[in-house]
Amino acid sequence: MEVYTDQSLDTLFAVMRKDSVDTSTMEEHFETRLMAKIAELRERPTAWFMSVWRMIPGFAVLTALIAVCSITFVETHPDDLFAAITTGQEDLMARSFLSGE
């Protein structure tokens, strides 16, 4: 087992700092490769679950519209049993009064 001292580590780091990495081959035509990869990703068919994610804002608007309409256009029924007789809704009011709805 070999034990490294601080001086040998400093020497090793100094040698590695002097050695530069040649990245010119990786830099060559980088933009062309990047644009080709982007074009390839765009040509792939969209998965069905991605289409669902894109439709979420539309579903949210539709849900909000239904909620607003259901709150706004609620028919109010009088609690008086005799009001049903005068408005012609005897059966409906009698059933709702007796059932507690």
Can you list the residues of the chain whose pLDDT is less than 70?
1-5, 76-90, 93
CB distance 77 to 96 below 8 Å: yes
Query: In this predicted structure, what is the pLDDT of residue 65?
Result: 95
Rounded CA gap, 83 and 101, in Å? 16
Write the CB contacts of 78 (distance below 8 Å, at least 6 apart in sequence).
84, 93
Query: In this predicted structure, what is the pLDDT of residue 39?
Result: 93
Write out pLDDT tens, residues 33-60: 999 999 998 888 777 777 888 899 999 9
Query: In this predicted structure, what is the pLDDT of residue 83?
Result: 63
